[in-house]
A and B are shown apart, each in its own frame.
Chain A
């Protein structure tokens, strides 16, 4: 378990940013999702040890979030969303510098900086001044400084923002590599749901300071509903109205394909009974994989 928190509450004045959140973050890559103002940043601040919760308790990597904040920060890596650099430095000095600040001896930090810069693909440009780096290179550099001290847990805030598709793919590959083979746990905060879907096995969805959904992506898909793609021949309106009355959510695509979200407890044969009653032919009936987008929309209550 990388983090356990219980009944976490935090308010900025009268505004409740976190309202009694309890969760256990499993090992591997975990995606942190939520609309703006959901409390993601506040949760990240607390997990990083920047804020002490007003109520509740928790541990990150076994360290108390109230009492052992410095220890937490020694063992975690953080890749912020914004571009951040120190002018007048090259990538090696920059990366080694943050390794030193994390507690690495100077020579070790310098040696390790070379290694991680090669790893993130900045080996050839490691002696260039940071001011001359492109957006993609800065993103890789932020990842390099986050992993230089070989953290046990990596916090990635919007790791693929401002990247072209190729750069995005490469960063995601790196994150996947780190989380799957390198024994480093990863918590990714992102608005790009497909990124989360690509990299993460678990998700945490926050909404209005509360926990909206949490668990393994595959289980969450199963847990809430099943998605079927249905194409019918005949009067579609009556069919749609009746299956909606049974508790299904129905979306119709432009080419008249019905995406039906069937509640977990509903018997699937009901759909065929409705079709029979409405004198419709079911021409296409395929179980579809629900996307994270569907899950997210359902969890936060938006279409």
Chain B
């Protein structure tokens, strides 16, 4: 059809002020993530531990039927705060979260920087906060799907399988711990991803950065810890710091003899640095050159 064949017509609707102006950004980010190669595979693989832990909860309630499998090691399937902490801060789950960030989060801001689309966003009634919130919520959606949702499902199914509320009576604070830790991990990974995504216009560099910083911080910790045997080196590792803070959330003894609040401070410092960098890098005023 040639130009203007159909003709321009005014739109007779009313533009309205959205309650959540960032919502279209989030939905678009989620839709685009699912279009990415391997993303569906990664997200479903990440949910495998949740299924395994759910089966574990079922078995723990029917332990008598499965005795032959454990030969006395019943404590393996004891569902308590440690069980939840093991799921939420397991090496595998954290690694899969990083993989999700690499695939779905790396391009969130860097693609907009590369393709000059920031100016289109900020020519709309959208604030910088709204823009960042929209982008961050893409990550929030996927990470809460792996942390908060399974965590709460575990509690619900534990109560359903048990048929009573004894579990909740024993650990009334557990739902709050699950919510708190899930939000904390998600919040940290949001700032972590958006920080790197705003640093480069090249999505590949950002992907490498997200993966490499997480991995090398752990390698560095492993190297120093093995050589000097000082638990303080755990502070070098992002993974170890997340697990240390996780121990506090679930009222457990930290894996390394370092106060949990040091880990918390390091992760919070990361978040503060991210917000400063994001504030500088994502600027509405650059929309017109």
Contact = CB atoms under 8 A, between A and B. Distances in A.
Instruction: Tell me if chain B binds chain A.
Output: yes
Interface of A: 41, 44-45, 48, 50-51, 70-71, 73-78, 80-89, 93, 97-98, 100-106, 108, 112, 115-116, 118-121, 123-124, 145, 147, 149-150, 157, 170, 173-174, 177-178, 182-183
29 contacts: A48-B123, A50-B287, A51-B285, A70-B127, A74-B17, A78-B123, A82-B119, A85-B115, A86-B117, A87-B111, A88-B32, A88-B35, A97-B28, A98-B124, A101-B21, A102-B125, A103-B125, A104-B15, A108-B13, A119-B3, A119-B8, A120-B3, A121-B3, A123-B1, A147-B8, A149-B11, A150-B11, A177-B4, A182-B10
Contacts of B124: 73-74, 98, 101-102
B62 to A, nearest CB: 47
A174 B289 contact: no
A174 B116 contact: no
B172 interface: no
Contacts of B13: 104-105, 108
A79 to B, nearest CB: 9
Contacts of A149: 11, 15
B8 A178 contact: yes
Contact of A44 (B21, B32, B117, B288): B288
B2 interface: yes
Contacts of A121: 1-4
Contacts of B6: 115, 118-119, 123
A84 B126 CA distance: 17
B69 interface: no
B284 interface: yes
Contact of A89 (B4, B32, B126, B127): B32
B259 interface: no
Given A44-B288, A80-B287, A88-B35, 11 more contacts: A76-B123, A78-B120, A80-B120, A84-B116, A85-B115, A85-B117, A86-B111, A101-B25, A115-B8, A118-B5, A178-B8
A183 B117 contact: no
In order of increasing CB-CB distance, the 10 nearest A-B pairs are A121-B3, A78-B123, A103-B15, A150-B11, A118-B6, A84-B116, A70-B125, A100-B24, A101-B124, A123-B1
Given A102-B15, A103-B125, A124-B1, A177 B10 contact: no
A120 to B, nearest CB: 7
A73 B123 contact: yes
B107 to A, nearest CB: 8
Contacts of B16: 103, 105
A84 B10 contact: no
Given A112-B11, A118-B1, A101 B17 contact: no
Contact of B3 (A76, A147, A174): A174
A103 B14 CA distance: 8
Given A87-B115, A102-B125, A48 B287 contact: yes
Nearest to B118: A84
A133 to B, nearest CB: 12
A1 to B, nearest CB: 21
Contact of A103 (B8, B18, B107, B285): B18
A98 B120 contact: yes
Contacts of B127: 70
A183 B127 CA distance: 28
Nearest to B21: A101
A219 B7 CA distance: 33
Interface in B26-49: 28, 32, 35
